[in-house]
Amino acid sequence: MRALKSKYDILRQKIYIVIYGSNTFAGKLFDLTLLGVILLSVLLVMLESVQQLDAKYHTFLIVSEWIITVTFTLEYILRIICNRKPLNYIFSFYGIVDFISILPMYLSFFIPGSRMLSVIRALRLLRLFGILDLVHFTGQESQLKLAIKASRTKIIVFVYFVLIVSILLGAIMYVVEGKESGFTSIPVSIYWCIVTLTTVGYGDIAPATTLGQIIASCIMIMGYGIIAVPTGIVTAEFANAKRNQSKDDSSRTCPSCTSIIYNEEARFCHHCGEKLTND
């Protein structure tokens, strides 16, 4: 009985390494095939939404999608079983994503349209970063994250400003332009204002009156200057992160006390006063 138990444990161990690990050959293989299947399933959902294709290959698409869903379900169950702390996985980001990406197909019994939502599987593609050279990429990622995180508050403040401005300008354009040229309501005008400030400019709504065009021109030139602000913020943060990083690279450690010395011209430890040797 116990032998069997231990056997089971060993098996579970093995599966765990294959599924979660990516440094063994089997693990890498598993991860890559999984990634392939995810990509495939996302493509399937996308193609299914194309009328003429769906008309032709409906049954094929449905069947293959069901096969994939079942595979994912099994994988999900395996992940839970072979994990010593299943809850850690279930309530981790990927755990939730994995769960949500199976759900829609089963929901589609009750809610017809919901099958489309299985596109959420695309999020599983983020696993790629887990598979590729971790250190290197996370290095890149972390730097991205750092800079983005550092500039988050500023960006929010900025967006908040932009929104208030959009509301005001939207209302003004609504009053100026009136209905006939597409500014049918203030919300629509605000939508137009955002479309313009972000320099997207669909052209589905465009000012027709002279005054409207003058105001629009001002808004564009504003948006022109405004687009510089978030870029400026993020760039400054990036440059900052970079500088700090390169600082760390050129840093030494004091031989006596272990404090780090950033200043490459330093001749004495700033902490214990120990004489340093520059070599």
Identify which of 202, 197, 198 has the alpha carbon closest to the alpha carbon of residue 216: 197
Chain residues 49-78 in contact with a copy of itself, contact rule CB under 8 A: 49-51
Give the one residue of 6, 13, 88, 199 binding a copy of itself; rule: CB under 8 A.
199
Q: Which element (helix H / strand E) includes 261?
A: strand 260-261
Give the burial class of 4: count Cβ atoms within 10 A of its Cβ; 0-12 exposed, 13-18 middle, 19 or more buried: exposed
SS3 84: coil
Tell me which residues in 100-159 interact with a copy of itself (CB under 8 A): 113, 116-117, 119-120, 122-123, 125-126, 128-129, 136-137, 140-141, 143-144, 147-148, 153-155, 157-159
Among 18, 42, 102, 105, binds a copy of itself (CB under 8 A): 42
Closer Cβ to a copy of itself, 83 or 196, answer by number: 196
Q: Say how far apart CA 73 and CA 203 lie, in whole Å.
A: 45
Instruction: Tell me how far CA of residue 162 lies from CA of 8, 48, 230, 247, 275, in angstroms.
Output: 60, 39, 11, 36, 54
- Whole-angstrom Cα distance, residue 276 to residue 270? 10
Least Cβ distance, residue 37 to a copy of itself (angstroms): 16
**Which residue number, 66 or 161, has a Cβ lying nearer to a copy of itself?**
161
CB of 29 or CB of 214, closer to a copy of itself: 214
**Is residue 32 at the binding interface for a copy of itself, with CB under 8 A as the rule?**
no
Q: Which of residues 241-270 bind a copy of itself (CB under 8 A)?
A: 241-242, 246, 253, 257-270
Please give the single-letter amino acid code of residue 114. Answer: S
Between 22 and 83, CB nearer to a copy of itself: 22
